[in-house]
Structure 1
Amino acid sequence: MLIFPLLTHLKPIRNRFFAPKGLLLLLLIAPLANSVEQTKPAQTLGLQQAVSKTLEQNPTLVAFGYQFEAQAGRVQQSGLKPNPELTLAVEDAFGSGELTGMDSAETTLGISWVLEGQQRRERVNAAQARTSVLEVERDIQRLDAAAKSARLYMLALALQTRLQQAEQAIDFARTVVKVIEQRVNAGNSPAAESARARVELSRRLLEHEDIEHELLVAKRQLAAQWGATQVDFTAVEGSLTQLPKVASYSDLKSRLDQNPRLQYFVTSERWEESQLTLAKAQSKPQWRLSAGVKHLSATDDQALVAGVAVPLGVFDRQQGRITEARALMALNRAEREAEQIQLDTNLYGTHQELLHSLHIVNAYQTEILPALATALKETRRAYDLGRYSYLEWQAVQRDYLDAQNTLIEASLAAHLKAIELERLTGVAIAPAAPMSTTTSTTHSTTH
């Protein structure tokens, strides 16, 4: 299996939800070794194709895209200027004596507006900083969705491999039934051995059916990653024996800062800083200017009027927000440090688990399975000579089949750990050359 950063292979996804602007270098999973660019039957599915469809059509990602439309509205709203106010004031009217009626009235028509240049700029800056936070959140969701699709893909591939092994086990069990029935008919074996062999065949058939159901579920779960309610492929491509190479822990750790979860804290800190700057700007008094025309009814004259209102800064009404913003900045830095430690711990543990899985795979492919294949061959020969009973032959058969299943599970675990390492670091895990002894060829020795 080849695992590479998918964004270096995929065409940019250009739509209103997933524009590439500001997109971090994410680790996304890419094609299997045999998934080269060529025409392939529609019923087969490659890993690159599965991840591409997930990034384009995943329902969660599509839903998240609407947050950018909402945020665009917030940015627009933050830059709007306050409307001016039109005022009309009448004085010295409808009073008593000389002020009866409107003869001595003074009418003023004016307009006033608030000067908020700095505050408006800081509101826009804060809204734009929040947009950057959303972009990192989108990157995290895309990374997680791609990694989940890769894991489901590998699970389906492992189940396909197990299904092939189950089919070979059924063929072998049928061969055993045939051999034993011939011996029973010849009077060389008791009839009980034939019954046991048929029971073993029935168990293998049930196991095959169980795997078929698990594979159907895995395919359905994979298709759901791109919003499909029906599976439109019959098989996934690849080989579990194409195992990843392992980079050193120090090399992987040096790339840990590429994880978008850490970038999220960096971007969030910028947003908190903009919130602090905005709170400080809002703590300054906003001047209000006014201008208008006054009409004096007594003399039928007009005059211009102008004024300025300056709020007295006796009380700072932003003290709480400033304190809150500073505390949130400190909280963000503390959480980033905690996340860094957690990611480093996960990286180390995943790296060790990958090494262990590869060790298990190597041991089974180079030592255990070849030894069991030889033991199975020799046990069969001894059974034909009457030196071993069927139970002894059956025990070696089961050991061999169990070892094959263990090899599949260890190979799957290695691929899953490699995917997790890429999700954590963004570092492509290069593929190793496939082992010369595969699960299919080793099984053929049982015949």
Structure 2
Amino acid sequence: MKPFFLMSTQKKPTASRFCIGVLSLSLTFCATGEVFSEPPKVLTLSQAVSLTLKQHPEFKAFVSRNMAQQGYVQQSGVGERPQVGLIIEDALGNGEHSALRNMQTTLTYAWILQQEQIDGRIAAVKSQAAQLEIEQQIASLDLAGNTAKKFIQILIKTERLKLNKIALQQAQDVVKALSERVDAGKSSNVEKLQAQAEQVRRELAVEDLEHELKASHYQLTSMWGEAGKSYQVSGDLMALPANPSVESQLDRLKKQPLLAKFATQQRIAQAQIELARIEAKPQWQVSAGVRRYEATDDFGLVAGISIPWGSDNRNAGKITALQAQQEVLADEANALLQKLDAQLYVLLQEMGHSRHVIDTMQQRIVPLLENALSDATRAYDMGQLNYTQWNNVRQELLAAKSSLLDAYESLHLQHIEIQRLTGSSISQ
């Protein structure tokens, strides 16, 4: 696999040995994982996202929360327990009611007619379970998006490291060649000292990127609980995502889990309104039993009904509050949709601009600067340019290639954010 920046270091007569021939661009990226000592396993973006969604601790919490929700559903189906009563009358008195001669014993069984209330509670609790599912979808999108961003940044930093290593190698070649020219009296020692300072700056840049890349690998693998484990991050940044249409993305935006969460909360409020109305109704209590007459050694059946007395609008305040809450949720959902709509439109425009920047840099600016460097090198050999002028052209070419990497990074990160906003699957 070719490196992103292929720079010629082959020695040629005079100034050509200084030339940084950044001549070919191959945008097939492979982060080698060289910051690790053990042979790494190949890891693609889809595999990284899959590992995160399977092993991130936040999803283990959702398993426990689902179990808790099932427990609440089960508990909501438990009503008031029936009551068994025993009543003794006309016993242990005096006269005819002394001892147990005229005692009456009544055994009753009473229960509340509450099935409607139980059904209402179950419906209210089940509506909350739907919200938990939406929250899990939101968490999935956020975690997948964060994983994809870390993955892309590793690819970019790997190519930056390659670029800086090549620049360092050529800075070392420049110092060596200038030393020979100084010894031969063809260049001043000032140019040699400037080249040595440039070499030191390149060494620092390489060291900084090595540390950043190591930290980025650690952050990525920590997403699925394997922090520091060796992986070879592999991806193709040249496979640029297509620019989606604004209309299609806006349609997908309306199905975003964040908006679905508001709709679910409105359904929860509606279920609670229905439950409040049911609970406001009087709960009838029915009882039945058997009565024993000791005096005549007879039995008789007894039955009764108890109806709470009072107004049925005792939950009117709660119902009013819940209805107002529904309106608040609807307004918040509309406000969020407008906000996401603006964010999505801006991202789509930025994505199109990033693609334009890539095309312009790759097809026009970089080739022009490569030709400029070639001409500057010949001019330097003939003494028409000094070291500083020649080095400025070289630095401008390196800066252009670094900007090209910036554009690729921006494009892929913008695409990831669009996928997260619209609730799309982040796997490529």
Q: Scaled by the length of structure 1, what TM-score is found?
A: 0.83
In 1, Cα distance between equivalents of 2:277 and 2:361: 66
Aligned counterpart for 1:211 among listed residues 209, 212, 226: 209
Mind listing any 5+ residue stretches in structure 1 that lack a counterpart?
1-31, 36-40, 432-447
Deviation of residue 365 (structure 1)?
1.1
Deviation of residue 413 (structure 1)?
0.7
Deviation of residue 428 (structure 1)?
7.7
Residue 75 of structure 2 is matched in structure 1 by 77
In 2, Cα distance between equivalents of 1:400 and 1:87: 95
Deviation of residue 97 (structure 1)?
4.0
In 1, Cα distance between equivalents of 2:236 and 2:71: 48
Residue 334 of structure 2 is matched in structure 1 by 337
SS at match of 1:237: strand
SS at match of 1:213: helix
Residue 7 of structure 1 is matched in structure 2 by none
Contact 2:144-2:426 within 8 A present in 1 as well: no
Q: In the TM superposition, what whole-angstrom CA distance separates every residue of 1:396-438 from its partner, at most 9, and x where no partner exists?
A: 122111111111111101100011111222468999xxxxxxx
Contact 2:281-2:312 within 8 A present in 1 as well: no
Q: Aligned partner of 1:152: which letter?
A: K
Taking the TM superposition and a 5 Å limit, the aligned residue runs for 1:108-123 are 108-123=106-121
Aligned counterpart for 1:56 among listed residues 22, 33, 54: 54
In 2, Cα distance between equivalents of 1:231 and 1:212: 16
Residue 245 of structure 2 is matched in structure 1 by 248
Cα–Cα, structure 1 residues 180 and 152, in superposed 2: closer, same or farther, change >3 Å?
same
In 1, Cα distance between equivalents of 2:295 and 2:265: 64
In 2, Cα distance between equivalents of 1:238 and 1:430: 11
Deviation of residue 42 (structure 1)?
5.3
Contact 2:29-2:159 within 8 A present in 1 as well: no
Residue 263 of structure 1 is matched in structure 2 by 260
Task: Calculate percent identity across the aligned residue pairs.
Answer: 39
Q: Aligned partner of 2:280: which letter?
A: S
Range moving further from structure 2, 98-107 or 402-411 = 98-107
1:298 paired to 2:295: yes
Taking the TM superposition and a 5 Å limit, the aligned residue runs for 1:338-357 are 338-357=335-354
Deviation of residue 90 (structure 1)?
2.0
Residue 183 of structure 1 is matched in structure 2 by 181
Deviation of residue 338 (structure 1)?
1.0
Aligned residues: 394
SS at match of 2:362: helix
Range moving further from structure 2, 289-298 or 52-61 = 289-298
Contact 1:113-1:289 within 8 A present in 2 as well: yes
Range moving further from structure 2, 46-55 or 373-382 = 373-382
In 2, Cα distance between equivalents of 1:281 and 1:428: 42
Q: CA RMSD in A?
A: 2.2
Mind listing any 5+ residue stretches in structure 2 that lack a counterpart?
1-26, 31-38
In 1, Cα distance between equivalents of 2:400 and 2:427: 27
Cα–Cα, structure 1 residues 284 and 389, in superposed 2: closer, same or farther, change >3 Å?
same
Aligned counterpart for 2:412 among listed residues 415, 426, 438: 415
Q: In the TM superposition, what whole-angstrom CA distance separates every residue of 1:48-74 from its partner, at most 9, and x where no partner exists?
A: 110110111111122122111000011
Contact 1:244-1:430 within 8 A present in 2 as well: no
Deviation of residue 95 (structure 1)?
3.5
Aligned counterpart for 1:322 among listed residues 319, 324, 337: 319
In 2, Cα distance between equivalents of 1:237 and 1:168: 21
SS at match of 1:293: strand
Q: In the TM superposition, what whole-angstrom CA distance separates every residue of 1:312-363 from its partner, at most 9, and x where no partner exists?
A: 2335332222112211211121111111111101111111121222222222
Deviation of residue 248 (structure 1)?
2.1
Q: Aligned partner of 2:316: which letter?
A: Q
In 2, Cα distance between equivalents of 1:116 and 1:104: 38
In 1, Cα distance between equivalents of 2:307 and 2:257: 46
Contact 2:152-2:413 within 8 A present in 1 as well: yes
